[in-house]
Chains A and B, each alone.
Chain A
Amino acid sequence: MTTDQVTGFPLEGKLQPPMANGEVLFEEAWQSRVFAMTILLYQDGLFSWNEFQDELIEVIGRWDAVNDETRQYEYYDHFSEALNTLLNKKNIVASGELGKRTDEYASRPHGHDH
């Protein structure tokens, strides 16, 4: 039986950390980083959670409007689009700036250590 070092609470069965039932919390590492960045920026007061929520709802709404509910749905694509849109709107990270840095990184030679 493992024990949570902080709370001393046993971690067997259903009480194991979040997705010990086999589900994954984040399918890709980049998703966890985008999620964490959003939380941190919100906590630092760069935007309210409602503002982020509104963007997310809009992005998802646009997808829902043209896609049937059985289509492959990539939640974190919408999540990161919402974040990037909001950051651009608030002049925190302009979309041009993000595009430029993304291109620079994309053109690094293969085998670059991420």
Chain B
Amino acid sequence: MSNSDASVRAEALESLLIDKGLIEADQIDQTIALYNERVGPMNGARVVAKAWKNADYRKKLLEDGSKAIEEFGFVGGQIDKLVVIENTASVHNVVVCTLCSCYPWAVLGLPPRWYKDPAYRSRVVREPRKVLEEMGTVVPEDKLVRVWDSSAEIRYMILPELPPGWSDLSEADLAERVSRDSMIGVEILGAV
């Protein structure tokens, strides 16, 4: 469907929903603003930084992700169960949704285009190392690569390994260094 066709159809839908009293135009604007400004990977970065600095929080986060992030009061995306998977010295984890686009909105915002594309969805389960390499990430041979397939029920976020040399940074400084891609598992932080 061309963009102008799709645009007219969307406008028609909006007007019908408004006519039926099911939504208001203001609400649509507010929701868009929310996802543009407040729902995004800066949230996940704060969670990761806290887990790096606080062993107790890390434990809670790995046990029950949804519960552990409650204290941050993130807005948007509270429609899923969040499970946080830690990268370790022996295992590198990466997340996908093979069937559509399931993604932990509450901590990462909306997924990037490549995450939703059929190429990533089918290839990362078949040949994860190769896909990661094409994205500029080389996982050491002695590490296992594990792929987690998200669903409507469970959304996964990766807790990256704390890079060597970063342990003296403050929590705020750490949060600034945690990338969205490292929380999906397609990037390794601090890699040279």
Contacts and interface: CB of A to CB of B under 8 A. Distances in A.
Q: Which bucket holds chain A's interface residue count? A: 35 or more
Contacts of B113: 23, 75
A106 B8 contact: yes
Contacts of A70: 119
A17 B39 CA distance: 8
B176 A13 contact: yes
B32 interface: yes
A97 B41 contact: no
Contacts of A61: 99
Given A40-B28, A69-B118, A98-B16, A80 B42 contact: no
A100 B12 CA distance: 9
Given A53-B100, A53-B102, A114-B11, A97 B110 contact: no
B45 A14 contact: yes
20 contacts: A14-B178, A25-B35, A25-B109, A31-B10, A33-B14, A36-B29, A36-B32, A53-B100, A53-B152, A60-B100, A67-B118, A69-B118, A69-B121, A73-B116, A75-B116, A75-B117, A76-B6, A83-B13, A93-B13, A106-B5
